[in-house]
Amino acid sequence: MSKELEKTENKITGYNPFNEITGEDIIYPIGNPRQWRANCSATGSFRKGEASLGELTLNLRVLFFVDYPQHNFFAGTYKTEDWVLLFFVDDDNVLCQMYIKGSSRKNFKNEVINITAEKLPMATQIIKATMRPASNEKGKFHVVDFSHSPNTDKVQMQSLAKFWDDHVTVDKNGNITENLIYSELAVQQLAKHNELKG
C-alpha cells in the first residue's frame, strides 16, 4: 500500500457538512466512484447506480481506463470476456466508473485510437457514449458507440487537471508511477470481498 494511501485511508473527510457545495471541484468519495452501468440488453441504457431507468447517451471526460482481458467479472452473470474499466467525470462533475465489454469495448478502444491519431490528449475531449440497437441470431441487444468533441469549458478543464495532479504521480518520462484513484478503489473492493467471505 502506498504511503499516500495509508495517510488518507482512515482519515475523516475534511469538509463542513453544512456548507453549500459550490465551484467546479470534482466530487469524489475516496475509493467509491459513482457507478454507471452500460445495460446492453434489448432495452439498452446507461444507468446510474441501481436505477432501473437510464439514458441513451452519456458524456464522459475520461481520465484513464484499465484493460481486463479474459476476465470473469460478475460471476454467474457473464462468461469470461474482455473488459475495460473506464474512470471518468460525468455531467454532474462526479468521478465515475463503468465496465464495458465485447463490441462496446472494441468501439471504445477504436475511439481512443482515433483521438490519439489526431494527437489530442484524451482528457481534453468529451467522449459521447451512445446506445445503438443491434441484433444477431440470438436476438436483440445494444452496442455502445463512441464519438468525441473538444471540451470547451476552460474552468472544468482546470478542475480536471488539478484533480489529476492531486491523485496521480508521473515521472519525468511521462509514465504513471502511482495512481491513488485506482489504489483506493482496490482497497475498497478488497474490503468488500473480505466482508462477503467473513
What pLDDT, in 10s, does the model give residues 96-150? 999 999 999 999 999 999 999 999 999 999 999 999 999 988 899 999 999 999 9
Burial pattern 131-155, b for ≥16 Cβ within 10 A else e, equals: beeeeeeeeebbbbbbebeebeeee
pLDDT (0 to 100) of residue 171:
82
| pLDDT at residue 191 greater than cutoff 50 | yes
Q: What would the pLDDT profile of 74-106 be if each residue is shown by its tens digit?
A: 666 778 888 999 999 999 999 999 999 999 999
Mean of the per-residue pLDDT values for the chain?
82
pLDDT (0 to 100) of residue 17:
53
- Count of alpha carbons within 13 angstroms of residue 156, beta-carbon side: 18
pTM: 0.80
Contact criterion met (CB below 8 Å) for 192 and 32: no
| pLDDT at residue 188 greater than cutoff 80 | no
Q: What is the mean pLDDT of residues 153-165?
A: 91
Joined grid coordinates for residue 152: 470547451
Q: How far, in Å, CA of 24 to CA of 161, rounded?
A: 12
Report the candidate in 85, 63, 65, 87 with the shortest Cα–Cα distance to residue 74: 85
pLDDT (0 to 100) of residue 6:
43
Q: What is the dihedral of CA 101, 103, 104, 105, to 10 degrees?
A: 50
Q: Which residues pair with 190 in a beta bridge?
A: none
